Amino acid sequence: MRNGVPSERVQSDDEPERPARPGRRTLSREDWARAALEAMREGGLGAVAVEPLAESLGTTKGSFYWHFKDRDSLIQAALERWVAESEELMAAAERIEDPVERGRRLTEYAFTAPSGADITTTLLIHAQHPVVGPILEQVTRRRLEFGARLTEELGLPADAAYRHALTALTMTVGIALIRRGAPQLLPQGEDKDAYVRYILELLGPPMT
C-alpha cells in the first residue's frame, strides 16, 4: 500500500544491520545517512543533494523518498550520526587520566586531523539552516562545557576556563577553514610541526 505521505518509516533497532556487501539489493536508511554525512564532509551542505547522492549510491530518487520524507530529514539523520560521533570523542577523551596529557592530545588532534574529520566549520557556515542551526548549537555548547571543565581541572577559574575553551574552538575552526580554502598559507612539513608546537604552547598551559 503506497501511502501518499510516506510517514518517514522509522528504523527499528533490531533490524539486522546490513553489511556493506557490494552485491546487496536494497539500501537502508542508514546507508543514506552515512553517505550524506560523508558528502557533507567533502562538499558541505550543498553536496547533500538527493539526485547526485542517489547516483553515487548506484540507485535513484525512488529509493530516497521511500526512506525519507524530504531532504531536510536526511540532513537531520546525517547530523544525528555526527552528534553520536561527537559524544564518543568526548567519552574517549574522558578516559585519558592525566588532564595535562588530555589537553595536549585534544589540541594536537584538532590541528593535525585530516581535513573534514570534523564538520563543525562546515556547519557553522550553514548555521542559518533550520535543521543545522539547533543541532550545531547543542553540540558546540556541550563541547565548550566539556573543554571548560577540562581546563578547570588544570586549576583555572570558571570564566577563564570558558574563555580558554572558546579560544581553542575559535582556533580550531579558523585553522580548519584556512586549511580548506587556502592551505598554501599554512606551514607545511617541518614548519608545520613547529607551528603545531607553537599552538600547543599558546593554548596548552593556560596561566591566566
Partner DNA sequence: GAGCTGCCATACGCCACCGTACGGAACGTC
Partner DNA sequence: GACGTTCCGTACGGTGGCGTATGGCAGCTC
DSSP label of 69? S
Q: Please tell me whether residue 26 binds DNA under the rule CB under 7 A.
A: yes
Partner interacting with residue 12 (select from DNA, a copy of itself, none; CB below 5-8 Å by kind): none
Partner interacting with residue 171 (select from DNA, a copy of itself, none; CB below 5-8 Å by kind): a copy of itself
Question: Please, which residue, 17 or 201, has the CB nearer to a copy of itself?
Answer: 201
Please count the residues of this chain forming the interface with DNA, following the rule CB under 7 A.
25
* Binders of a copy of itself in range 180-199 (CB under 8 A): 180-182, 184-187, 191, 194-195, 198-199
Question: Please, which residue, 10 or 182, has the CB nearer to a copy of itself?
Answer: 182
What lies within 8 Å, CB to CB, of 66 at 6+ separation is 6, 9
Site string for a copy of itself, 120-159 (x = CB under 8 A): -x-xxxxxx----x--xx--xx--x--------------x
88 vs 113: CA distance, rounded Å: 16
Question: Please, which residue, 65 or 195, has the CB nearer to DNA?
Answer: 65
Q: Please tell me whether residue 61 binds DNA under the rule CB under 7 A.
A: yes
Q: Please tell me whether residue 113 binds a copy of itself under the rule CB under 8 A.
A: no
43-60 burial code (b ≥16 CB/10 A, e <16): ebbebbebeebbeeeeee
206 vs 160: CA distance, rounded Å: 9
What lies within 8 Å, CB to CB, of 109 at 6+ separation is none
Q: Which residues sit at the interface with DNA, rule CB under 7 A?
A: 1-2, 4, 9, 25-27, 48-52, 54, 59-63, 65-67, 69-72
Binding site for a copy of itself (CB under 8 A): 121, 123-128, 133, 136-137, 140-141, 144, 159, 163, 166-167, 169-175, 177-178, 180-182, 184-187, 191, 194-195, 198-199, 201-202, 208
